Amino acid sequence: MEDSRLISLHDHLSEGMSRRGRRGGLGRVKGTPGTTAVFRTSRFEDQHMPDNRLYRGFVRGGVLGKRKLDRIIEDVLSKKGGKMPWKTLRRECVEQWRIENMTDKRSDKEVGDIVLTTIPPAYLSKKSNMVVKK
Is 134:123 a contact under the CB 8 Å cutoff? yes
Do residue 51 and residue 88 come from a single domain?
A: no
3-state class (DSSP) for residue 14? helix
For the full predicted model, state whether its pTM sits above 0.85.
Answer: no
Of 15, 31, 56, the residue that ends a domain is 56
pLDDT digits (tens, 9 = 90+) for 31-52: 555 555 545 545 445 555 566 6
Strand ranges in 40-119 using DSSP code E only, listed in sequence order: 83-85
Domain of residue 39 covers 2-56
Residue 73: per-residue pLDDT: 94
| 52 plus 17 within the same structural domain | yes
pLDDT in tens, 57-67: 665 555 555 56
φ, ψ of residue 107 in degrees (nearest 5): -75, 160
From residue 104, how far is each of 77, 90, 134 by CA, in Å?
23, 17, 30
61 part of a folded domain: no
What tens digit of pLDDT does each residue of 11-35 get?
A: 877 776 555 555 555 555 555 555 5
In sequence order, the 6+-apart residues with CB closer than 8 A to the CB of 82 are 132, 133
Between residues 37 and 123, the one the model is more confident about? 123
Q: Is residue 42 part of a domain?
A: yes
At residue 112 the predicted structure's pLDDT band, cuts being 50, 70 and 90, is very high
Identify whether residues 79 and 51 lie together within a single domain: no
Count of domains observed in the chain: 2
Q: How many CA atoms lie within 13 A of 67 on its CB side?
A: 2
pLDDT at residue 57, rounded to an integer:
65
